[in-house]
Amino acid sequence: MTFRSFATVVACTSLVLLAAGCRSSRAGQAEPSRRAAAVRQALDVLIEEGHPSEMQAKQYTYRCELRDYMERELPRRFARYGFDVRMIRQRGEHTDAARHLLVVHYDAYNPGSSAARIVVGYGAGAASLDMSMSLYQGGAVVLTWKDGCGTSSHWSRIINKLDDNMGKKLQAFYQKR
């Protein structure tokens, strides 16, 4: 056997083994998750940022900024967990009894200091948000919990993390039912 034919056999064998090894172990599991995702749980979401009279004007402005960002991001993130989300601004907009209502209330928000995050680092000037959530079905509370987190990065990471936490919590709740 010449060196050229030996190299060809080794290259072909390597390609076959590589192609066989690239098959994902999750390939057979993809179909059931697609079927589960086809049935989407209908959910109305109301975000309560708090009343302006309970805080300073700047604090209320920060909370409204959080709410606006969450209203944009939450439907997309919850779609990953199998929810059909409709954002509402008042409880009166929740009229469909077939849809559950998720009320998100901002308990405490500290925007931190961007300057301290940039100049000092090491967690200085960290932003944090604490929230409480209640899930209603037909006017009755079926699930309630609190969550919070902080970051020394941009404040939007807090919303992203808490949105994912809510999606996981609600997905686990609906799977048990």
For 89-103, what is each residue's pLDDT tens digit? 998 898 888 899 999
CATH number, domain of 130, equals 3.40.50
- Please give the pLDDT value at position 124: 65
Residue 36 forms part of a structural domain: no
**Tally of domains in the chain:** 1
Q: What is the 3-state secondary structure (H, E, C) of 53-98?
A: HHCCHHHHHHHHHHHHHHHHHHHHHHHCCCEEEEEECCHHHCCCCC
Residue 161 forms part of a structural domain: yes
Work out the number of other CB atoms within 10 angstroms of the CB of residue 125.
18
42 bridge partner residues = 84
Residue 81 forms part of a structural domain: yes
- Please give the pLDDT value at position 30: 43
The domain in which residue 53 lies consists of 41-176
- Please give the pLDDT value at position 119: 64
Residue 12 forms part of a structural domain: no
Would you tell me the crossing angle of helices 57-79 and 156-176 to the nearest 10 degrees?
50
What's the chain's average pLDDT? 81
Specify the higher pLDDT residue, 102 or 29. 102
pLDDT over threshold 50, residue 28:
no
For 128-156, what is each residue's pLDDT tens digit? 899 999 999 988 999 999 999 988 778 88
Confidence of residue 169 (pLDDT cuts 50, 70, 90): very high
Residue 107 forms part of a structural domain: yes
Residue 7 forms part of a structural domain: no
Residue 121 forms part of a structural domain: yes
Residue 30 forms part of a structural domain: no
Distance CA 157, CA 136 (A): 27
- Please give the pLDDT value at position 45: 95
Confidence of residue 37 (pLDDT cuts 50, 70, 90): very low
- Please give the pLDDT value at position 22: 59
Distances (CA, A) of 38 to 19, 77, 112, 146, 148: 31, 16, 41, 29, 30
- DSSP output for 5-55: HHHHHHHHHHHHHHHHHTS-TTGGGHHHHHHHHHSPEEEEEEEE---GGGS
